Amino acid sequence: YLVEVEYPAEPEEEADELKAYTLAIISAIKELLRTNPLYGEEVKQYLSRFGPDDSSPLADFGASMTSAPGNELQDVLDTVPLLRRMEKVLLLMRKEQEVARLQSEISEEVNAKVQKHQREFFLKEQLKVIQRELGMAKDDKTADVERFEQRMAELQPPEAVQERFRDELEKLQVLEQGSPEYGVTRNYLDWLTQVPWG
């Protein structure tokens, strides 16, 4: 739908206040553009139809850039005195700036945590490789195999169980540690070596 809108002329005595609010809204729009460049196209469309000093359409445009609920936006549209409307718009835009600032802080915090965890993981993996190279540590798979062998030696289960144990242990040694089958086989061996067979 296309709608034609007429904006009433502003009273002369309010010119200074209007100019101050206009500049404040323009400043808030610039700030929102810095935090969300996607508004750039909307600003271009606005400027192709209105000048930056057209206070009334500027107020409406500023309100449209916020994520305010519908009832608050409707309240802005229902407010006829321009200074009062601009004041409401400026409050909505300040809230939007605060939300954008908080989103940015949260995003930075999450990114910092992710980078920290990635760095820790990388360093731990490097440490494991170095320890294995120096013969100071065994990899997880070797440690699992030795633990299962030690448990089975202490249990002395029937021959059929021992045979099944050997088959599963050989299977574990050739599987990739990250594979789902490795986890299933490891859990089975863990259970098999904890059952009281005697």
- Tens of pLDDT, residue by residue over 75-96, are 998 998 889 999 999 999 999 9
Task: Report the predicted TM-score, pTM, of the whole model to 2 decimal places.
Answer: 0.53
Of the chain, the percentage scoring pLDDT greater than 90 comes to 43
Residue 71 has pLDDT above 60, yes or no: yes
Of 59-73, 94-108, 123-137, where does mean pLDDT reach its minimum?
Answer: 123-137
Rounded Cα gap, residues 128 and 134, in angstroms: 10
List the Cα angle 66/67/71 in 5-degree steps: 100
Residue 130 has pLDDT above 60, yes or no: yes
- Give the pLDDT confidence of 135-186 residue by residue, as tens digits: 776 677 888 899 999 999 888 889 999 999 999 999 998 988 889 999 999 9
pLDDT score recorded for residue 28: 92
pLDDT score recorded for residue 11: 60
Rounded Cα gap, residues 123 and 187, in angstroms: 28
Rounded Cα gap, residues 46 and 79, in angstroms: 21
Q: What is the largest CA-CA distance in the chain?
A: 103
Q: What share of the chain is helix, strand, coil (3-state, %, to 5)?
A: 75, 0, 25
> Mean pLDDT over residues 56-66, rounded?
89
Residue 55 has pLDDT above 90, yes or no: no
Residue 66 has pLDDT above 70, yes or no: yes
Residue 13 has pLDDT above 60, yes or no: no
